[in-house]
Structures are given as structure tokens and as C-alpha cells.
Chain A
């Protein structure tokens, strides 16, 4: 919609950029952004405006304001990973995905908040503080959440965004940008998307370049796409996907961008409902929503079948072993020598390393490094790492079998419940929370499959709840087509943000929430 408006000249890229920037300022309390790149964003918007004036925009994304999670490298803008270790670090190169977006005229507003080095599921564990879910400040939430006691401060009821790409999800949800990049290792894009009521796409492993994404788990990381609708996600995917000579794990073939058809007939579709996703702790509300969604497909003529992915229950522990092992390895480079934080300790190289890493990393990162190194010790390697890899293969095979049986896409919940209030969330440690919150999402990472969160409904508390579709490898088009049909059926409500406005233009975006 916005893209059309830009083309027709109803709004200029500069106006759009300024509106977003002022909205970012008005919603600063969300803590969605770590760095706001006002100056460069305006320059990019001006350049875009020139192109529109000449009638030569670069494409659908030209002039569209976007945000990027702060674990993608960007030249000229700090890349911190929400860690002391990289505070003030300015990368000399752009991540491939960032470069591709800029090459298509997108306007980069800033870098979004996250859990330190993307390790977490709440966006609560970064050095820049937790991200607040914009829905905490929505009319929908405020109407339905009755304060338990009057003494309780209304302000303290705010809920988390989920994570680790919570900043990106909050940014899209609060209209401060039209699309944002997240990363997804165990659910880090889909989980906050579900909690913030936006679309969150985790593409197939190898479809999008990881070059320039500061890794969590190389064998599972994928850049994730957060948008307000499925069509937008398809557009961004089209602009990012394909081979990158700088990432040897990307597909060799070029990727053909596609437009999503508006499906009217779903009778040829086969939707799988994996019974193992009826996991302990799944809220009744979400279970009901899940069944309702299955009925929706069934009633529209689709074949809905219960399927089994028998190794699902082992997935989260194996994920934990593989994740920490790769974390231990990937974090080894942060020794304070070439870049990043360096401790003043100078008694010996070893003591400098130790102090640098103690000061630079938070407890979560250090804990994962410790357990990862334990799993990689010679005496433990077979027992943990190799075993986890074998189970990983079994999990991937589960999916292969189900898809071979004729199922087109799987339908599952994305999260166990709606977003928890921050006060509740921090009662458990990061590890426990991650195990709970990644439970329904990380299997797709273990198997490398594409998966998408589609915002579905509001919970009793007036908070977003999403469902997840998992597709076949490299069948994004089919996955997104189904998601789009579903999105149309459920008519997820628009967020009604109650923000003190310094600028009367701020909510103009509601009319143009998507750009495609």
C-alpha cells in the first residue's frame, strides 16, 4: 500500500522516513532500538526521493523504512549484539542482507534491541535493557487486563516481546518501520512475532546468506523477516534470497522472487497437525485456537490430518547441546585483541583474555560457553555432541517422512501462551525460559525447514497469539500462499496504540500498514 502511495507521489520517502523517526522517538520507552541512524536514514530517503522524481525507483522496497536487528553488521552504524563486548563496535562491512536491502533503496532507520548475542527468548537480557511489547500500551490490552490490586502500578504491567528479535518485532508492531530483519536460531524471529502480533518468517536454511550475521549457531541461524502481512514478507524474501559467494552454505541456484496468489480453493491442500506439539504447558486458549484453525481449513475443504513427529520431545535438549557447543566455539574470537572490549588487565595475555571475557559477556553467554566447552571435551564429545547430532538427523527425518506422506504444510502453535508480564518472566532464569519458549519453534531450525508465524487472534488478556506453519524445504512459495490464505481468514485486529503524541501524523500509518 505504501509502495503504491510512494509511486503515486501521495507520500514522499522523506516524509515517510521523518514520520517513522518521530514515532521512534515517541515510542522510545519501548526500547526497541539500540541505535537510531537518523542522519543516514534521511540521506537514503532523499536519494530515494530523487529516484522517484526521476520516475526510476529501484523496486517495491525503494523508500521503505526498515530496521535491522543489532546482530547484523552495518557500516557506519554500531553493531553491538546488545553486549558490552561489542559496545561501540562499527563494522567495516555490511551484512549481505543489509547490502541487498540498501541496494534496493530501503531506508535503514536503525538497529534493534535483542538479548545479548541473541541468546534468550524474552529480549530481556541485553545490556541496553529489556524491550517492552507495544501491545502493553494498546487499548485492547488495557481494556482487558484488570489490575489485580489498585496499589499495583499500572506501568509495571507491561509484557515482554519475546525474543531474541524482540526489538525488531516491537518496531514493526509499533509502526516505526515497515519491515525488520531478525535472526532465527531456535525461534528468535517467530517467537517475538507471535507475542507482538506480526508476521515472522524463518526461511529454509541456506536460502538467505548469513554473511555478516554475527552467529549464534551457524548450522541453524537464518536471517528472519518481520512484517505486518504475509505479502510483505514475500517481497522482502524475494529481495534477500539466493546464492551468496560469501556464504558457502547458501544454495547454488538463483532464487526467483514470486508474488503470492490469493488462494480461493484450499481443497487440494493437506494440512498436518503434529500431535507432539500438544506440549506440556500449552495454554488452553492456544490449544482452542489451534483446533479452530484446523477446523477452518477442514471446513474450507482442505484435508487435515493428524501426523506424528516422534522425536520431537528430544529436540529441545539436543538443541541445547548443539547450540551451546557452537556458541562456545563462535565466542572464542572475542578475546579483546582485534576488536571489541579489552580489559585493562595486563599481567599476562591469559589474564587479559579472562578479564576481557568476564567483563564483556553477561552470565547467560558465559554459562552457554561453559556448557558448550564441556560438551566438546574429548571425553564428552561422543556422549553429548555426536549423540545430539544423531538425534538431530532423526528429527529432520521425521519431517521428511511426514512430507513424503503427502502433507503440504504443518500447522502448530508458535508459543505455549501469550506474552508474560516482565515481572513474571524474570522469575525464571534465561535457560529455563529459553527451553520453554523455543519448544515449539526450534525443531524447524534443527531440520532447516521454513516456518512462519501468522498472528491469529487476541487472547483473553487482549494480547496477540500466533500460529506457526512449517513447510517443506525451499517451498517458501507454498508455505506463504497457505499463510496468506489463513491470514485473510482470521482478520487479525490492528493494534490500537495509546501513545502520547507529540506529532499528529504519528498514526497515519494505520492506513498504510503494509507496503506491498
Chain B
């Protein structure tokens, strides 16, 4: 998206004279630095009022692989288990232990690579990355520095303009590579007793590091790209990608520069663990860098952390200076060889090989494909399809309702997105926890469709249904006498009764 900023700026400067150039103006603190492109608004400019800033954002995302056991050992993978209860001899790096690659982790990485349009390397290698840290027992991490398992992919994501769902743009960020690597353990620092406690349960869990090219330009884009990646991973099942549990962690590389000039010095904001914070952290960092530079300061190539309470990024203290990781090939693991249908040796044991084509054929529909299908099949708007996929199980819920009612899918979508979803959000419920099943909602919509109740009445019934008392919509309608009248004579009688009761008004009206 740096490109987009650049284009906007170039357009602005090239068109002199009558054409209205985007007004460069001051860029007040608090306004999202990112806002410009997507909202078509101002390009931030320096105090000189001439040179605008172009933010460049690249992400590195660590996704924990959803697998029973760790990347190179047989210990279980489980969140929130008692400390150090899931540690094999290898995980604790006992001398003489050797890594044994977990097939499931390789398959997960291949799936993810294919889903992100990567080319899968038929031969990839493992390397050791050295640094001393208490929660890295071996003194090195096994990763894929030289030849990763997947390279050169792309991820399309969409974001809305002006915060309205009605205008969405689709963008693409290039994926540089996906590499398999080990997670580290966790250190707990007890400052008062100046102790560090180490939990190795996470040490050695398989990670996929997805490295994106610096194609993004603002927090919103970063957030949208990560959200899409998260949905893809969850669809594939290659990672549960729950950010709150650390299964998806984002590092953002941020720099700003003037168009036509080389990239600025970048900072890395590490370990961002929520999508909302990601947007905030990136925008804050862009803004901070611009202000720093405008005030004549310089940007240090440093690692920073996002303080969610203060809403700002702060330098991290433990990483001083540049580290030399002294990369070296991992000598205990032979090259990882993958096959496709063509290269698969005939006499190979299937347990021993991984066939890329086989995995490709079995990929589930990705979110983008699912959305297209929903739009095509039900005639709903693209933004509706986004909303449906944004909640786990919502699309299935919607489809189930559609199947059980003659109401047009286009009408059903309003009930699902406006009524059901807003209720669930208000009460922080997941779709699965909804007190109203797809069956009940379909039942209700059927009454509406058959014109037995009005849509106002339907909302009343729905309000009753939320209580989850086990009544059917029809029962509620009868109880509260909400049905519409179908009998012409009865309706006439009611009208007559009303007229009779209001003799004076009737006379007044007749007299004009």
C-alpha cells in the first residue's frame, strides 16, 4: 500500500493548474496516519507543507501449528497446561537428544502455503539461529533461514472505506515466505525477588512464520490482512489462530519516507496479540516516526512493544544492540523433501512421503471462495458475505435458515446480520451459543413470509425467543395475539367498531 500512497502523491503533484490536487494539510495527532488512502482523504505532509510521508508496513506473523505433538518431539501441545508438564528430553535440550520432524506440521505448512498461493519448495532446509535466552534451552532455535518450505505467495484481503460496510476494496499483499520453526518457552520475571521462572511447555511447538512483503501502509490494512490470514488458517485447520492464546502473534516492521527517497529506518513492533492493537500500534508508530522526523529527530532501528493500556509503542529493553545469530545448517535433520504426483517414487511407502498434489486436492474452500459462492448463490451483497464469514459458524447458520424457509435469501440476510448478530455481539455470545437456533429463526421467518405476522410483530417474537424458554414462534404469536388478520369480514368488523366508537371524529371528517 506504500504504492498507493505514492500514487496518490504523484497524482497530486503531477496535476498542476486546474486539476484539484489533494489538499496537503497538517496531520493532527490522533488522526489515523493510515486513513488517507482508503478514505481518499489527505496525504500527510511535513510542516513545510510540501513533502508528504509514505509509511511502509511489513508484517511477520507467527502462527502456532495446530498439532497433537511438537515440531521435533513427541510432547503434547496444549494451552494452559501446568508449567513444565509438556516437556520432553529434547524440549529441555538434554545433551544427546535429536530432533525428529513431525509430519503433521509439515502438512500444515504445505496447506497454508498452497492456500496463500505460494510455490512449495520440494526441498527445504533447516537452520540453527543462535542466541542465549532463558526460555531457549538449546541456545539456538531451529528454523528455515536459507530455503523455507514455501515462497512467493500472495494474500488478498478487503477493507471498507469510510468505515462503512457498503464500500469495500480488495487489496493484495505479497507473501515472501513461510518457514517452519520452533516456538520458544516462556519466561516469567519476578522483579521483586529478581528471579526468572521458565515454563518450557511451549518450547518446541511448531510455528509457521509467514513473512509478508512491505506492501501495507496503515494499521487498518495490516489488521484486515491479518484477519483474512486468520480466517484462512482457521478454515484450513492448520492453526487455531486464537490471538488471545498466543497462537497468532504479529510483528510489524514500520518505516516512513518521502516519495522517491529510499525507505526510512524501520522499527519492529513485536508480539502484538490482538488485531485491534495491531491497527493501533501500526498507526501510532507511523505517527510517532513522522513527528520524530519532523521535529528533526532520527529513528532508531530498534524493537518496540505495544503498550495496550497507554495505546503507544515503547522501546524494548532486553534486546540491546544488533545480534549476530550465527546461522548454521541444522546437521541433525536431512533436507525436507516433498513430492508431487509427477515426482512421487512408485515404490515409496506412503507414510514416508508427503504429496503436495494430494494435499492440494483436499484443500477446503477458502474464505474468499466461500464468499463468492454465497454472493452468487443467494444474491446477497459482497459485504454481507464478509460479515457472514467474520463470525465462526455464522455462514452455516445463515445457510441453514435459508434452507428451511421459502423467504428470499436476500431478506433472510437482514435478519441474520442485523437482528441475530447484533444480539449475539451485545451479549458476547458465539453463534454456537445462540439461544435461537437456525430452525427457530426459520420458523419465525416462515410466519412472516406467510404474512401471518407483521415484521414488527416478528421482532417482538424474536425478543421473546432470546429468552430461550423453549417456546416456538407460533406459540408466542398466539400467546401475545400478534397474528395478522386474514379474514376480510373480521377486519371490516373491527374497522366498523372503531368507526362506531369515534362518532364525533367521523362526523368532523365527513363535514371536512
Residues of A contacting B198 in the complex (Cβ-Cβ under 8 angstroms)? 337
Could you name 20 residue pairs across A and B whose Cβ atoms are closer than 8 Å?
A: A73-B96, A81-B95, A91-B95, A211-B97, A211-B98, A212-B96, A246-B98, A248-B333, A249-B98, A249-B331, A329-B130, A333-B137, A333-B138, A333-B139, A335-B139, A338-B93, A339-B92, A339-B94, A376-B130, A381-B327
Q: Is A318 in the interface zone, CB < 8 Å from B?
A: no
Given A247-B98, A339-B94, 12 more pairs with CB closer than 8 A: A73-B95, A73-B96, A95-B96, A215-B96, A219-B331, A248-B99, A248-B332, A249-B332, A331-B139, A334-B95, A378-B324, A378-B326
- Digit string of B333-345 for contact with A (CB within 8 Å is 1, else 0)? 1100000000000
Residues of A contacting B85 in the complex (Cβ-Cβ under 8 angstroms)? none
Residues of A contacting B100 in the complex (Cβ-Cβ under 8 angstroms)? 245-246, 248
Q: Is A328 in the interface zone, CB < 8 Å from B?
A: yes
Q: For residues 364 through 381 of chain B, which have their beta carbon under 8 Å from a beta carbon of chain A? A: none
Residues of A contacting B168 in the complex (Cβ-Cβ under 8 angstroms)? none
Q: How far is the CB of B187 from chain A (nearest CB, A)?
A: 9
Q: Is A399 in the interface zone, CB < 8 Å from B?
A: no
Beyond A248-B333, A350-B132, is A326–B96 a contact (Cβ under 8 Å)? no
Chain A residues in contact with chain B, CB under 8 A? 72-73, 79, 81, 86, 91-93, 95, 210-215, 217-219, 245-249, 252, 325-326, 328-329, 331-335, 337-339, 349-350, 353, 373, 376-378, 381, 385
Do B95 and A214 touch across chains, with their CB atoms under 8 A apart? Answer: yes
Do A337 and B140 touch across chains, with their CB atoms under 8 A apart? Answer: no
Residues of B within 8 A of A (CB-CB), count: 31
Do B132 and A353 touch across chains, with their CB atoms under 8 A apart? Answer: yes
Do A377 and B98 touch across chains, with their CB atoms under 8 A apart? Answer: no
Residues of A contacting B6 in the complex (Cβ-Cβ under 8 angstroms)? none
Give the docked Cα–Cα distance between A247 and B93 (Å): 15
- Digit string of B278-298 for contact with A (CB within 8 Å is 1, else 0)? 000000000000000000000
Do A325 and B89 touch across chains, with their CB atoms under 8 A apart? Answer: no
Do A210 and B98 touch across chains, with their CB atoms under 8 A apart? Answer: yes
Residues of B contacting A247 in the complex (Cβ-Cβ under 8 angstroms)? 98, 332
Q: Is B128 in the interface zone, CB < 8 Å from A?
A: yes
Most buried by A among B95, B98, B140: B95
Beyond A332-B138, A337-B198, is A376–B327 a contact (Cβ under 8 Å)? yes
Do A376 and B328 touch across chains, with their CB atoms under 8 A apart? Answer: yes
Closest 9 CB pairs of A and B: A332-B139, A376-B326, A218-B331, A219-B331, A214-B95, A212-B96, A333-B93, A333-B138, A214-B96
Give the docked Cα–Cα distance between A93 and B94 (Å): 10
Using CB atoms, name the residue of chain A closest to B128.
Answer: A329
Residues of A contacting B138 in the complex (Cβ-Cβ under 8 angstroms)? 332-333
Q: How far is the CB of B185 from chain A (nearest CB, A)?
A: 10
Q: How far is the CB of B427 from chain A (nearest CB, A)?
A: 46
Residues of B contacting A248 in the complex (Cβ-Cβ under 8 angstroms)? 98-101, 332-334
Chain B residues in contact with chain A, CB under 8 A? 89, 92-101, 128, 130, 132, 134, 137-140, 196, 198, 324-328, 331-334, 352
Q: How far is the CB of A248 from chain B (nearest CB, A)?
A: 6
Q: How far is the CB of B360 from chain A (nearest CB, A)?
A: 26
Using CB atoms, name the residue of chain A closest to B325.
Answer: A378
Q: How far is the CB of A7 from chain B (nearest CB, A)?
A: 34
Do B328 and A385 touch across chains, with their CB atoms under 8 A apart? Answer: yes
Do B137 and A337 touch across chains, with their CB atoms under 8 A apart? Answer: yes
Do B95 and A333 touch across chains, with their CB atoms under 8 A apart? Answer: yes
Q: How far is the CB of A205 from chain B (nearest CB, A)?
A: 11
Residues of A contacting B139 in the complex (Cβ-Cβ under 8 angstroms)? 329, 331-333, 335
Most buried by A among B96, B101, B130, B139: B96
Do A332 and B130 touch across chains, with their CB atoms under 8 A apart? Answer: yes
Q: How far is the CB of A207 from chain B (nearest CB, A)?
A: 15
Residues of A contacting B96 in the complex (Cβ-Cβ under 8 angstroms)? 72-73, 91, 95, 210-215
With beta carbons under 8 angstroms apart, the residue of B95, B137, B334 that contacts A249 is B334
Most buried by A among B132, B134, B333: B132
Q: How far is the CB of A86 from chain B (nearest CB, A)?
A: 7
Q: How far is the CB of B95 from chain A (nearest CB, A)?
A: 4
With beta carbons under 8 angstroms apart, the residue of B89, B93, B128, B332 that contacts A92 is B89
Using CB atoms, name the residue of chain B closest to A347.
Answer: B194
